[in-house]
Amino acid sequence: MGTYHAGSLAVQELLGVRDRAEHVGRSLGQGIKPVAAAFLELQPLLMVGAADPGTGRVWTSARTGTPGFVRATGPRQMSVIMDTGLTDPLTVALKTPGTHIGTIALDPRTRRRMRLNGRLRPTPRGFAVEADQVFSNCPRYIQRRESYETVTDRTPGTPRLLGELGSHEREFIRAADTFFLATVHPAGADVSHRGGNPGFVRVTSPHELTWPDYPGNAMFLTLGNLRTDPRAGLLFLDWTTGDTLQLTGEAHTDVTAGGDRTVRFTLTQALWTPAALPLRWSAPECSPANPSS
């Protein structure tokens, strides 16, 4: 597979950043370097994204564990230990051999993030991913959180499936400074991070969200995927209570004559899970890169 597929190339051409994207694209590899392996083993949180094989809907899900639950087990392989009792919209996908999967490990303590995309292989304790793409991103738009604790007596509440966003879910989104976005293309899947000051995601109706696409690394992997396949999965989480809101639907990008970009997401289905994650993080320090409005 080349560095970029047709969708990303088209967006790069549209925005006049092909030369820069070609340069940045040299950072994409298939191998997990020692520094990346060491980073993975320190993480208590991993985001995963894929399409559900039954419905075709794309979701983003969070996996947590004692540091070491995610680790490199080969020069191109990452393994994940998974709670066998956990169920969510990606349960089937994470047990299906050959699933295209995107992952991102983000460490709020250091404002570092690493993405690893590839094909999934179920294992007795979880799953492994044979890497097609491994790369790190800059710390831009990551809110710093100095520490976390594991709340051992936190019990996930009953998930609630929604066809639209109620007032509680709309306020949850408006208060968010971070979310994760899964997208797919014919040869893979990807999960990216989006961050900004609270309010950067706008809820325009019970079925639609919008957010600005801030300047990044010029690769346009996410927008490139959406150009070829609009399916998308969003994950919002409460870094204190562990509540999660997962959304699946379709996203499209509006580009102004000046190159500013806004993404519009139309909801198909949502899943609200109280206390889904056992981690409680300290208060955020907003990224200095966040636009003021």
Annotate 82-117 with three-state secondary structure.
Answer: CCCCCCCCCCCHHHCCCCEEEEEEEECCCCEEEEEE
**Residue 116 falls inside a structural domain:** yes
Q: CATH number for the domain including 34?
A: 2.30.110.10
Q: What is the pLDDT of residue 35?
A: 95
User: Range of 129's domain?
Assistant: 6-285
How far apart CA 131 and CA 120 sit, in angstroms, is 9
Dist. CA 70–CA 121, nearest whole Å: 14
pTM, full prediction? 0.94
pLDDT tens, position by position, 120-175:
999 999 999 999 999 988 899 999 999 999 999 999 999 999 999 999 999 999 99
Determine, yes or no, domain membership for 290: no
User: What is residue 84's predicted lDDT score, i.e. its pLDDT?
Assistant: 65
What is the total count of domains within the chain?
1
Residue spans of alpha helices (H) in the chain: 6-15, 18-24, 34-41, 167-174, 221-228
pLDDT digits (tens, 9 = 90+) for 135-148: 988 899 999 999 99
**pLDDT at residue 30 in the model:** 84
Domain membership flag for residue 202: yes
Q: Can you tell me the distance from the alpha carbon of 146 to that of 282, in angstroms, rounded to the nearest whole number?
A: 6
- DSSP-based three-state secondary structure for 21: helix
CA distance 96 to 91: 9
Residue 291, in any domain of the structure: no
